[in-house]
Structure 1
Amino acid sequence: MRTPLSLLALSLSLLSAPGAMALSEFGIEGMGVVSTKANEAQATIAPDGKRIVWASDRAGGAGGAGGWDLWQAQLRDGRWQDPAPLALNTAGDEVDPFFSHDGAWLYFASNRDSGRGGFDLYGVMIREDGSFGTVLAMPVTVNTAADERRPAVRPDGQALLFARNGKGTQGFDLFVATAQGRGFNTATALPAPLNSAADELGGEWLGNDGALAVTRVVGGHSQVWVVGCDYRKPAVPLGLSFNTADGQTGAPVVDASKPGEMVVAGQARSPKAGGLDVYRMRAPMMVCR
């Protein structure tokens, strides 16, 4: 059920619901379950709408050493319930989860000991019963000795968007690798001005035509920008009240079960659960000509 955003609605809905949206603008996701007093970052929702996975620095992660872990909750009686850490968590950090739109894979980033260097990208197949298979590192066409973050597979499965720093980049830049069989070809950087002197710390596909929602970090502040299919044209800020140049907003991910909606991580004045929370809003519509 969707709830209009107002102080009254907020007081009535300390939301554990999967999305408060007939909201004129945004609503908090899963108050007390997904969004808590801890920090919650990128979230992703399975194509069947029955599971959400997100990154959190709350206590109790399966890695046992604190830091960032991946958590999940199930949709029951219209609410996110039973938050629990994923068994694939390690003593390192697991962040940036992303469900493929066919429901076959969960992708994420981790700085676990087995990587090629810093943060690398990983994928895990989802079995028919919903359990996770073996964690597999992305190939050397994607993972390098630099940091790779924020994997996002295009809805048609034919391209992988992610962020990388290292040789030849301006901090973090956006890269795309096209699909080849069950893997990906060598990644190439997107052009300027989309990649800029700021950090482009990942993004999300707004359909299959190439339009993107991108997280850009300047001076420690993060903001979401949207751009059409011509990446040489300027991006514009996402229309969200707390998506400001002096705020913290990022990690946009379209809800695979409701493509007209999107979740972002950010810090709003209200509603607010803790530090970084997860919010839901309408996905921006970008027309590619």
Structure 2
Amino acid sequence: MRRHLLTALCLSLLLPATASALAEFGIEGLWTASTRDDELRGSISPDGQWLAWASDREGGPGGMDLWIARRDGIRWVDPQPLPFNTPGPETEPAFSPDGRWLYFASRRKGGRGGLDLYRVAFDGQRWGAPEPLAALNTPGDEHSPTPGHDRLLFSSNGHNAGGGLDLFAARIRPEGSVELSGALPGINTTADELDVMELDGGRALLFARRDRATGNARLYLAICQGAAYAEQGPWGLSFNSEERSTRAPVVDLSRPADLLVTGSAPAPKAGKGDLYRVAAPTLRGADGCMPGT
């Protein structure tokens, strides 16, 4: 146990590129972002100076809240709850590629119902007021917003697709408004699909599928075959198994060859759900699957 803790501490302090080179994965921000509490979905700003994530730790208004830490050399330090947290849950944050926005899901007052999607402006120091993505929110649940340069991927059970939570794409217009493009073809099922991210410019995908009976999620790969995505099976990450819950892949915008994922590895391990740094899978697909393109 002591050896595992020492390994975890060393990996958490190393520069991301070095950690990825030394092992299959390394724990991110040990005792700052990854703690004994339940953490979910880490996102790093494009300048590499900020890490946002969701946590149920004490210090926020209650339940799941959004937190942020700053980089000090090679470490994440000074974790703080974000000022727009509410007593309702705030979760699943993701920085936009230009760093100007933080997208997230929340069940705050004034929403359409269930979890809704929001974004909040960030200038590197100050936060704006959260804005609902009204064109996408429904009386159901909207999850895991993943912004790109001109589109947003997300999960919802309020738009008709395969059943349960399904994966969708929306267009982000130049002036900032969003509009639904459609469901991602070929991968939505009667199970819950969530936490999707693009590989190879949208020609391939990495996404989570959750078993409703156990509540566990597992990460899967899919490639575009011209009209629809075809699953390639579970991602070969060692702790991405049926017995564990692994989800929320988000590219490190400051180091695009790396991802942060949420899971519970045997070691290194801090608590319930931890943030891990992993090399992004390399997968190539065809054009023609992403709605709205």
Larger helix proportion, structure 1 or 2? 2
Pick one of 157, 179, 189 that aligns with 1:165. 157
Report which stretch shifted further, 10-19 or 159-168: 10-19
The 3-state SS of whatever aligns with 1:208 is: helix
Letter in 1 for 2:36: K
Shift of 1:14: 6.8
Residue range with higher mean Cα deviation, 159-168 or 225-234: 225-234
Which residue of the partner structure matches residue 3 of structure 1? none
Pairing 1:241–2:241 present: no
TM-aligned CA deviation for residue 68 of structure 1: 0.1
The TM-score with structure 1 as length reference comes to: 0.90
Is the Cα–Cα contact under 8 Å of residues 37 and 272 in structure 2 kept in the other structure? Answer: yes
Q: Which residue of 2 aligns with 1:280?
A: 277
Q: Could you say if the C-alpha distance between residues 14 and 206 of structure 1 is closer, same or farther in structure 2, counting changes exceeding 3 Å?
A: closer
What is the distance in 1 between the residues matched to 2:274 and 2:285?
A: 31
Give me the whole-angstrom Cα distance separating, in 1, the residues matched to 2:180 and 2:238. Answer: 38
Aligned to 2:38: 39
1:120 maps to which of 116, 123, 141: 116
TM-score (norm 2): 0.89
1:242 maps to a residue whose letter is: F
> Aligned partner of 1:124: which letter?
V
1:88: how far off?
Answer: 1.0
Residue equivalent to 2:91: 95
1:1-289 counterparts in 2 under 5 A? 7=4, 10=7, 13=10, 15-17=12-14, 19=16, 20-61=19-60, 63=61, 66-127=62-123, 129-140=124-135, 142-154=136-148, 157-166=149-158, 168-169=160-161, 170-181=163-174, 182-192=176-186, 194-218=187-211, 219=213, 220-230=215-225, 231-289=228-286
Aligned residue type for 2:118 = Y
**Residues 251, 259 of structure 2: 8 Å contact kept:** yes
What amino acid maps onto 1:183 in structure 2? S
Alignment coverage as a number of residue pairs: 276
**Aligned-pair distance for 1:12?**
5.6
Q: Distance in 2 between matches of 1:54 and 1:246?
A: 24
The worse-fitting range, judged by mean Cα deviation, of 221-230 and 117-126 is 221-230
Matched position secondary structure for 1:118: coil
How well do the aligned residues superpose, as a CA RMSD in angstroms?
1.8
What is the rounded CA distance, in whole Å, between the counterparts of 1:15 and 1:32 in structure 2? Answer: 9
Residue 289 of structure 2 corresponds to none
The 2-side partners of 1:18 and 1:130 are apart by: 23
Could you tell me whether the CA contact under 8 Å between 1:97 and 1:150 is conserved in 2?
yes
Letter in 2 for 1:54: W
